[in-house]
Structure 1
């Protein structure tokens, strides 16, 4: 973790204690860290199933292509039965086709995407069926390596923050809780990605 990020985040005494008692998280970049298109396909396959199952299905999905790469034009030519043979549901097949269609009409090159702000990327990718804000925020964190992402829609992040800041969050729900969590995280800027990685790895007593 960047030392300047640790110094900044440690100004919050609660977060400082979490950092002190938690091993430094390692960046979780995939082999396709520079391939946003492939990352989007993998994120669709991974939705609502175990990591083990997702990895197996994604391997079978990629094996449907001659060079093991699901080129958008080739993906759109595959039949539903061919895609189902990899273990994909009908809904996910529709989502994968939506990613492929988007990739054929819009740029997903890092050279272009890196010119956009975090929120611009969220709004750019949300029109893809099956892609929500949480999905894009995970891509911002783990594929695009953006430093100041606060994935408040992630259940674990919310649970850990409620556990860490009980005096500020006790009894709060819904929009009120979201507002307070944003207020807690505001001083962490511009290193909220590092804070989030620590919260994910932290194991409360």
Structure 2
């Protein structure tokens, strides 16, 4: 049903036909001892502005700082900046990670708590965390909470792929308006459309395997 709907867009239909289907989204975990939402936010912060390979290495060293390999919020808050930097984290990212831990101790972060919220309500709920922006929450919505209609327009790769696919010439606000207009055709399956765009490999363009 979703593919049929998206294929009504002739450009996207060609992209879907030439692109491997996206991988399944990560499963969320309601276990309060190992909360996938909390962990995903930590991982997103570690990944900011560095390569995937470097992020994986740093995050693994970060997890290894904890006895059971899981950064329980109360344990994370006891770590000194020096301890966190031994994992390869910058001072700023260390502070951001502890901000997530502080939030987790004071606010519910389980799927059961977030499930009744709209996508935008979840964005506004998590934005007060230092180091967490709209893009970070949108990735959480797409890959952890499996929300079907997220359009991450602030993602540079999504914008670049859409400009190329649709032959757009607009810039600035006019471009954002045009991108939103195109994506309206994809509702209520904008998450899947975006994931196809990430995996699409037009000639000369490196794709994100998502």
TM-score calculated relative to the size of structure 2:
0.91
Contact 1:134 1:151 (C-alpha < 8 Å) held by counterparts: yes
Deviations 1:76-134 (A, max 9, x none): 01111111111110000110011001001111011011111111111111111111111
Query: How many residue pairs align between the two structures?
Result: 199
Q: Give the deviation of 1:30 after TM superposition.
A: 6.7
Higher relative helix content: 1
Q: Distance in 1 between matches of 2:29 and 2:57?
A: 17
Q: Give the deviation of 1:47 after TM superposition.
A: 0.7
Go from structure 1 to structure 2 and tell me whether the alpha carbon gap of 1:58 and 1:32 turns closer, same or farther (over 3 Å shift): farther
Partner of 2:135: 134
Q: Do residues 119 (structure 1) and 116 (structure 2) align?
A: no
Q: How does 1:113-192 map to 2 (within 5 A)?
A: 113-166=114-167, 169-170=168-169, 172-192=170-190
Task: Could you tell me which runs of 5 or more consecutive residues in structure 1 were left unpaired when the two chains were aligned.
Answer: none
Q: Give the deviation of 1:65 after TM superposition.
A: 1.0
Partner of 1:35: 36
Go from structure 1 to structure 2 and tell me whether the alpha carbon gap of 1:36 and 1:65 turns closer, same or farther (over 3 Å shift): same
Task: Could you tell me which runs of 5 or more consecutive residues in structure 2 were left unpaired when the two chains were aligned.
Answer: 204-210
Q: Give the deviation of 1:46 after TM superposition.
A: 0.8
Partner of 1:11: 8
TM-score calculated relative to the size of structure 1:
0.93
Q: Distance in 1 between matches of 2:14 and 2:60?
A: 40
Deviations 1:162-205 (A, max 9, x none): 11111xx21x1111100110000101000001100111111124
